[in-house]
C-alpha cells in the first residue's frame, strides 16, 4: 500500500498503514511545531501542532489509541504498558513531565480539542486510560500519580470518557493486594477533590458502580471502615471520610429497619423484648442515635406487613398494620424517651403515611395507639398539631386529626370537672 502524503513545513511524509508510522508522523508534526519558533511551552506547541493535524490525513479512526499513547508516554505502548523502543520518541509527554496539575492540564485541554473535532476519539482515550489503570504496577509511585491526575482532570473537565469503562478495570486482585490500587485512587481522589465536590466524586463512582464498594480498594487484611477512615483522613480527605460516614450511617439505619421487618414477619413473631434486645445490639454496634432507631423501627414494623400483603384487601392490610404497631408499641417507645424524640418519631410517621397512600387514612389511628401506649405524650401531639408538623400533606393530616384533638380537649375538660 502506498500510504498517504502529509504536508508539513519541512517534508512530505508518507504514512503506511501501521501504528508505528502513524506515531512517527504525529511526533514529526508536533516536533515541527516546536522547531517553528514556538516557545518551549507545551500548551503553545500542542496548539500549533493542532493546526497541522486538522489538515493532515492521518488515520485517526484506526490509530486513535496511538495518539493518546504518544501524549502520555511519548511513543506507542506495547505489552505490559512498556514504551516501544523502535521508532521516534516525543521527549515531552505526561509521564516525562512533573506530577503537576497545571502541566498535565495542557494535555487534557489538547484532548478536549481533539475530541471536539473528532468525537470518536473519546473511545480511544478510554482504551489508553484502561491500559494505564490495568498496568499501574509497571509504573513507579510518581508515574501512577501523574496518571491519576490526568484521569481526574479528564473526569473533572468532562472530556467524555465514561467512569464505568475505566474505573472498574483497576480492581485486579494482584494490584489491590499490593496496595497499588489504594495508592492510585488516593491520588485520584485528592486531585479530583482539589477542584470538585465530594458529591461530584461520588457521582463518578456511582456511574462506575463502585460507590457502594469502596472497601474493595483496600487489601483484604485492611478492608474495614476504621482502616478506611484512618487512611483517607491521613491523606487529608476529611470531607470524603465525613460524606462516607454519613452514607454508611444511612445504610445502617436501613439495615436496622430490614432487621426489624424480618424478625416481626417470622411465624410466630418474636416477643417485643427480643426485638428490643436485637435493636439495642445493632444500635451499639453501629453507633445509632435513638431518634433514627425509632424511625427505623417504625419503618420495619410497617414493612413487615406491607411486604407480605399477598391478596389481602386494603382494609385487611390496614388492620394488620395497626395490630402490629399495637403489639410492638412499647418496644418502639423504648427509643422515644424524650419530648424531642417523640416529635421526631411523630413527624416521621406523618411523612411515611403521606408517601404511602395505603397508610394515609391510618394516621389518626396510629397516633391514638401510640398515645394509649404512652409512646407519644399529649404535649407532643399538641405541639405537632399547632406548629410542629411536616409540610408534607400538612393540611390533610391536620384535618384528619381534628376529631382526635377534639377528643383530647374533651378529656381534659372532664378531668377539670372532676377536680
> For residue 329, what is its C-alpha cell?
408499641
- Looking at residue 198, its pLDDT comes to 96
The Cβ-side half-sphere exposure at 211, using a 13 Å CA radius, reads: 20
> For residue 354, what is its C-alpha cell?
403521606
- Looking at residue 415, its pLDDT comes to 59
Q: How far apart (Å, rounded) are the C-alpha atoms in residues 253 and 297?
A: 9
- Looking at residue 84, its pLDDT comes to 77
- Looking at residue 94, its pLDDT comes to 95
> For residue 243, what is its C-alpha cell?
460524606
- DSSP label at residue 216: G
Note whether 171 and 133 are within 8 A (CB). Answer: no
pLDDT tens by residue, the chain, 419 residues: 334 444 444 444 444 468 888 999 899 888 887 765 545 688 888 888 888 888 777 888 899 999 999 999 999 888 766 777 788 898 889 999 999 999 999 999 999 999 999 999 999 999 999 999 998 988 899 999 999 999 999 999 999 999 999 999 999 999 999 999 999 999 999 999 999 999 999 999 999 999 999 999 999 999 999 999 999 999 999 999 999 999 999 999 999 999 999 999 998 999 999 999 999 999 999 999 999 999 999 999 999 999 887 767 888 888 999 999 999 999 999 999 999 999 999 999 999 999 998 899 999 999 999 999 999 999 999 999 999 899 999 999 999 999 999 998 887 666 555 55
φ, ψ at 267 (rounded to 5°): -125, 110
The Cβ-side half-sphere exposure at 345, using a 13 Å CA radius, reads: 30
> For residue 269, what is its C-alpha cell?
413473631
- Looking at residue 131, its pLDDT comes to 92
Note whether 131 and 96 are within 8 A (CB). Answer: no
Q: How far apart (Å, rounded) are the C-alpha atoms in residues 340 and 44?
A: 63
Q: How far apart (Å, rounded) are the C-alpha atoms in residues 134 and 89?
A: 23
Query: What are the structural domains, with CATH classification, of the chain?
Result: 4-236 (1.25.40), 245-418 (1.25.40.180)
Note whether 329 and 369 are within 8 A (CB). Answer: yes
- Looking at residue 38, its pLDDT comes to 47
Q: How far apart (Å, rounded) are the C-alpha atoms in residues 24 and 45?
A: 17
Those residues whose C-beta lies under 8 Å from the C-beta of residue 198, and which sit 6 or more positions away, are 239, 240, 243
Q: What is the DSSP string of 169-196?
A: GG--HHHHHTTHHHHHHHHHHHHHHTTS
Q: How far apart (Å, rounded) are the C-alpha atoms in residues 370 and 333?
A: 8
Q: How far apart (Å, rounded) are the C-alpha atoms in residues 245 and 251?
A: 10
- Looking at residue 330, its pLDDT comes to 94
Provide the whole-model pTM.
Answer: 0.80
φ, ψ at 77 (rounded to 5°): -100, 140
Amino acid at each position: 500500500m502506498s500510504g498517504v502524503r502529509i504536508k508539513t513545513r519541512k517534508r512530505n511524509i508518507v504514512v503506511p498503514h501501521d501504528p508505528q508510522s502513524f506515531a512517527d508522523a504525529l511526533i514529526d508534526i508536533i516536533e515541527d511545531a516546536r522547531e517553528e519558533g514556538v516557545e518551549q511551552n507545551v500548551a503553545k506547541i500542542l496548539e500549533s501542532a493542532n493546526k497541522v493535524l486538522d489538515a493532515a490525513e492521518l488515520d485517526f479512526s484506526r490509530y486513535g489509541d496511538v495518539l493518546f499513547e504518544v501524549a502520555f508516554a511519548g511513543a506507542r505502548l506495547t505489552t505490559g504498558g512498556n514504551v516501544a523502543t523502535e521508532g521516534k520518541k516525543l521527549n515531552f509527554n505526561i509521564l516525562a513531565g512533573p506530577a503537576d496539575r497545571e502541566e498535565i492540564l495542557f494535555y487534557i485541554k489538547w484532548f478536549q480539542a481533539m475530541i471536539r473535532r473528532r468525537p470518536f476519539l473519546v473511545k480511544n482515550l478510554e482504551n489508553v486510560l484502561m491500559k494505564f489503570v490495568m498496568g499501574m504496577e509497571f509504573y513507579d509511585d510518581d508515574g501512577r500519580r501523574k496518571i491519576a491526575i490526568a484521569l481526574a482532570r479528564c473526569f473533572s473537565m468532562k472530556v467524555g470518557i465514561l467512569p464505568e469503562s475505566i474505573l472498574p478495570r483497576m480492581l485486579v486482585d494482584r494490584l489491590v493486594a499490593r496496595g497499588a490500587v489504594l495508592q492510585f485512587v488516593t491520588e485520584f481522589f485528592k486531585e479530583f477533590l482539589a477542584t470538585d465536590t465530594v458529591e461530584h466524586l461520588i457521582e463518578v463512582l456511582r456511574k462506575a458502580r463502585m460507590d457502594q464498594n469502596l472497601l474493595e480498594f483496600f487489601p483484604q487484611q485492611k478492608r474495614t471502615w476504621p482502616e478506611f477512615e484512618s487512611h483517607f483522613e491521613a491523606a487529608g480527605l476529611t470531607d470524603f471520610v465525613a460524606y462516607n460516614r454519613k452514607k454508611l450511617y444511612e445504610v445502617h439505619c436501613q439495615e436496622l429497619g430490614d432487621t426489624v421487618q424480618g424478625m416481626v414477619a417470622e411465624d410466630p413473631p418474636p416477643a417485643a423484648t427480643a426485638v428490643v434486645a436485637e435493636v439495642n445490639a445493632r444500635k451499639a454496634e453501629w453507633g445509632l442515635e435513638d431518634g433514627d432507631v425509632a424511625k427505623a423501627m417504625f419503618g420495619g414494623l410497617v414493612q413487615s406487613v406491607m411486604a407480605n400483603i399477598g391478596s389481602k384487601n386494603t382494609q385487611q392490610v390496614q388492620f394488620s398494620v395497626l395490630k402490629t404497631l399495637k403489639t410492638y408499641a412499647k418496644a418502639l417507645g423504648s427509643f422515644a424517651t424524650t419530648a424531642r424524640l417523640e416529635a421526631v418519631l411523630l413527624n416521621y410517621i406523618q411523612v411515611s403515611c403521606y408517601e404511602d397512600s395505603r397508610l394515609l387514612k391510618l394516621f389518626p389511628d396510629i397516633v391514638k395507639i401510640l398515645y394509649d401506649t404512652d409512646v407519644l405524650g399529649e404535649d407532643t401531639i399538641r405541639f405537632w398539631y399547632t406548629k410542629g408538623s411536616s409540610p408534607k400533606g400538612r393540611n390533610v393530616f391536620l384535618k384528619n386529626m381534628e376529631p382526635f384533638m377534639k377528643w383530647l380537649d374533651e378529656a381534659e375538660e372532664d378531668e377539670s370537672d372532676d377536680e
